[in-house]
Amino acid sequence: MNYRHAYHAGNFADLAKHAILLELLARLEAVPGALTVIDTHAGAGVYDLAGAEALRTGESEAGIARLMAAPNAPEAFRSLKTAVARLNPQGAVRLYPGSPRLIAERLGPGDRLIACEARSDDHAVLTEALRGFSGSQALMTDGWTYAARQSFRDRARLLVLIDPPYEAGDDAVQAAGLSRRILVANRRAVIVIWAPIKDLMSFDTLAGRVEDAAGGCPVLIAQTRLRPLTDPMRLNGAALLIINPPDGMEGPARDIVDWVAASAGEGGEGRVDFT
């Protein structure tokens, strides 16, 4: 397990993922009833953008640094900008919140977050990042196994975020398999899958697997394409595939991916499809 998200924190893909995630949480939190959130691949929760890993790639420059400096970014980025500003009260953006921290900050009374992270070093940082957020728990465990063992039947309102590193060849297959399993137990579960876009064929295969797993439930696919998909060796974009998206997600998702593609991309485009 070599992947460290610290190299990529706050990059274009995080912006789109986290801004859409916060829009989605706002809609779920507007509905009464306790919400359970499982983040299967949680990462460290908070990242130091002045740390050695982040500085080595400099990816946050075209990501969160550009967003925080953009006065006219769409309204759909407001929650993410607020969360980043809250973490950096001195003003300069040094710390960037990962998905579990963003989720923990949004939970209401009675809601729960179970954040799974397999690496002990990232799990230690994650535990600190979630300290003080009641209802939020950092587990050092395999997120696939943890989620597969849960009985989702009794969880009326459920959100599962699946954000694996895609280092292992079967992450896409596992993501689709886990989604199918969750939906068999709870057909109204909201499932969010992050996916890399390198070439069209691999991405279409992944999207097809997720749509099959959804078994007729609606799927929203929000793609941020940085550039035309001509070189499959590069990360040319990123996507979120959302099964059972709450109403009203299409507009903000489009605003978010269009802005990220225009500001961080090289002739790319945003795309939102709803099936």
Ligand X SMILES: C[S@@+](CC[C@H](N)C(=O)[O-])C[C@H]1O[C@@H](n2cnc3c(N)ncnc32)[C@H](O)[C@@H]1O
For residue 59, state whether it binds ligand X (rule: CB under 6 A): no
Smallest separation, CB 104 to ligand X (Å): 12
Residue type, 201: M
Ranked by CB distance to ligand X, the top (closest) residue is: 98
143 binds ligand X (CB under 6 A): yes
Chain residues 20-39 in contact with ligand X, contact rule CB under 6 A: none
Q: Is the dihedral of CA 126, 101, 103, 105 positive or negative?
A: positive
Is residue 1 near ligand X by the rule CB under 6 A?
yes
Does 270 contact ligand X by CB under 6 A? no
Q: What is the closest distance, in whole angstroms, from the C-beta atom of residue 72 to ligand X in the complex? A: 25
Within 8 A by CB and 6+ apart from 53, the residues are 4, 6, 7
Site for ligand X in 92-111 (CB under 6 A): 98-99
**Binding residue (CB under 6 A) for ligand X from 116, 129, 189, 220:** 116
Q: Which residue from 261, 195, 247 is spatially nearest to 26, judged by alpha carbons?
A: 247
**Binding mask 214-243 vs ligand X (x if CB under 6 A, - otherwise)?**
------------------------------
Among 19, 28, 42, 103, binds ligand X (CB under 6 A): 42
CB nearer ligand X, residue 43 or residue 63: 43
| Under rule CB under 6 A, residue 122 binds ligand X | yes
Residue numbers at the binding site for ligand X (CB under 6 A)? 1, 3, 5, 17, 41-43, 98-99, 116-119, 122, 142-144, 163-165
